[in-house]
Structure 1
Amino acid sequence: MDKFDCHILEILQSDCALAVNDIAEQVGLSATACWRRIQKLEEQGIVRARVALLDGAKLNVGVTVFVAIRTSRHDAKWLAQFHAAVSTIPEVVELYRMSGDTDYLMRVVVPDVAGYDRIYKRLIHMAELSDVSSSFAMEQIKYTTALPLGYVADT
């Protein structure tokens, strides 16, 4: 990956709806060369998807809840059951397996506390959990989907 690829990625991260001609002009390549690079980045899985970012508050899911989960079960059967259960809950927008005291950390978006309570009740019925600790975000200070590109080495 070279400086052209990084510049293309930077542009796509800020607005993936730009026309290839516009991206090519900003990067300093022909439209064909730019399009080929984008195709290659997609084929390599570096560009996983092109999506629209939506405003949760305007869609009535403006409350963000971070949920720390601990379990006493760490076997493959439980893991499969838990993953399958969580994948059926659209309000769970992120889920991570963690190191340390917390086994899983999830980010949930809901309209209000009652909406989260419904998700909580679903979770505790779907899988055996030792502890569920929820924290409601009071204010979003920074949010980005853009990844830092300064760590990409030229190849």
Structure 2
Amino acid sequence: MSEFDRKIITDAITRMLARREHSFNEIMRKLQQKGITGDAFMPILEEFKDADIQSDARFAESRARALYLKGKGPRAIKLDLQQYGVDESTAEYAMREIDADWFESAKKVKEKKFGEFYETEFALRQKQKQFLQYRGFYQEHIEYAVSANESS
């Protein structure tokens, strides 16, 4: 590989990471889409990883926090991180690091969409539960959100 090719690959990776954190797999995919072969970029990408310039842990934490703030549940966040190639232990670590209160988050998401009142009609409660399930919350979070005490 020529020094010119190395500079192009290094610049491409640097530009990606300057905008936001990227997972290792995401950078690989983007470089392949640019027509750069794995043989050419893999050693350079490994250097970025070894120097801790690229970090799947930082990416996972950043992505998990952003999705949590958008009202996504833990199931949806873990699935999203998987799609970016983040391994399960790194995803679990990121989920602990964001220090999320999933019960209150589910309640806030439910209140934003359906209001604060407690729904007594079965069909409407089911609709709320399905919505929260779609947002990636687990059953215990959903039950808390739709059955929360009426005084809140």
| Structure-2-length-normalised TM-score | 0.31
Structure (1/2) with the larger helix percentage: 2
Structure (1/2) with the larger strand percentage: 1
| Structure-1-length-normalised TM-score | 0.31
